[in-house]
Amino acid sequence: MRCVTSSSGTDAVNPSTGTRRDVPLTAEVSPDASRLALFGFLWAFALLYHQVGYDDHLGTAADLVLAGIAMVAMVWPSTPIVLGALAVVHVAVVLRNLPSVYNHWYFAALVSIGIAVACAIAWWQDRGSGSTLRPASVARAFVPAGQWCLILLYVASGFHKLNHDFLDPAVSCAPILGGAITGTFALPQPVAIATIWLTIVLELGVPVLLMVRRFRHAGIAIGLLFHVMMALAGYPRFSATGVALLTLFLAPGTLTQLSSRGRFGRLHEIIRVRVSPTGFRLAIVLVLVAATSAGQAVASPVFLAVQLLFTLAVLVLATGHRTGTESYRRIQGPVPLSIVAPVLVFVSAISPYLGLSTSRALAMYSNLRTEGGSSNHLIVPATLQPFDFQRDLVTIVASSLPRVQQLADDRMVVPFIELRSMLSTTGGDVRDGSVSYIRNGTAHDVPSTRADVALDLPVSFFVQKFVRFRAIESSGQRRCGV
Q: Does residue 259 have a pLDDT over 50?
A: no
Confidence at residue 23, expressed as pLDDT on a 0 to 100 scale: 40
pLDDT greater than 90 at residue 17:
no
pLDDT at 276: 65
- Mean pLDDT, range 230-244, rounded to an integer: 92
∠ CA 354-357-359, rounded to 5°: 135
| Positions of E strands within 199-336 | none
pLDDT of residue 4: 35
pLDDT confidence of 128, banded at 50, 70, 90?
low
User: What's the rounded mean pLDDT across residues 74-91?
Assistant: 94
- List Cβ<8 Å contacts ≥24 apart for 198-205: 198/174, 199/158, 199/161, 199/174, 200/158, 200/161, 200/162, 200/166, 202/158, 202/226, 203/154, 203/155, 203/157, 203/158, 203/161, 204/154, 204/155, 204/158, 204/159
Tell whether the model's pLDDT for residue 40 goes beyond 80: yes
pLDDT of residue 179: 81
Please enumerate in sequence order all residues whose Cβ is within 8 A of that of 216, keeping only pairs 6 or more positions apart, or say none.
209, 210, 249, 323, 328
DSSP state of 480: S
Count of H helices and E strands in the chain? 17, 8
- pLDDT at residue 325 greater than cutoff 60: no
**Is the pLDDT higher at 134 or at 48?**
48
pLDDT the model gives residue 22: 41
Most confident among 25-29, 76-80, 131-135 (mean pLDDT): 76-80
pLDDT classification of 129: cutoffs 50, 70, 90: low
Q: Does the pLDDT of residue 52 top 70, yes or no? A: yes
- How large a percentage of the chain has pLDDT more than 90? 57
| Residue 377 pLDDT greater than 90, yes or no | yes
The least confident of 32-46, 137-151, 247-261, 320-334 is 320-334
Would the pLDDT of 213 be above 90?
no
CA distance 18 to 236: 44
pLDDT band for 100, please (50, 70, 90 cuts). Answer: confident
Question: For residue 326, what pLDDT is reported?
Answer: 41
Query: Average pLDDT in the 316-340 region?
Result: 66
Q: Quote the mean pLDDT of the chain.
A: 84
Least confident span in 21-30, 303-312, 393-402, 469-478: 21-30
Q: What CA–CA distances, in Å, run from 225 to 50, 231, 246, 315, 476?
A: 20, 10, 11, 8, 35
pLDDT 10s digits, 342-356: 999 999 999 999 999
pLDDT, tens digit, 9 for 90 and up, residues 159-193? 999 999 999 999 999 998 888 777 776 788 889 99
Beta strand 435-439 with 442-446 is: antiparallel
Chain Cα centroid distance, residue 296: 22
Distance set, CA 168 to CA 96, 164, 173, 349, 448 (Å)? 38, 6, 9, 23, 43
Mean pLDDT throughout 41-54? 93
**Average pLDDT for 18-23:** 41
Kindly state the percentage of the chain with pLDDT values over 70: 83
What's the pLDDT score for residue 252? 72
pLDDT of residue 388: 94
Q: What is the pLDDT of residue 96?
A: 92
Which band of pLDDT confidence, cut at 50, 70 and 90, is reported for residue 255? low
Question: What is the mean predicted confidence (pLDDT) over 367-382?
Answer: 94
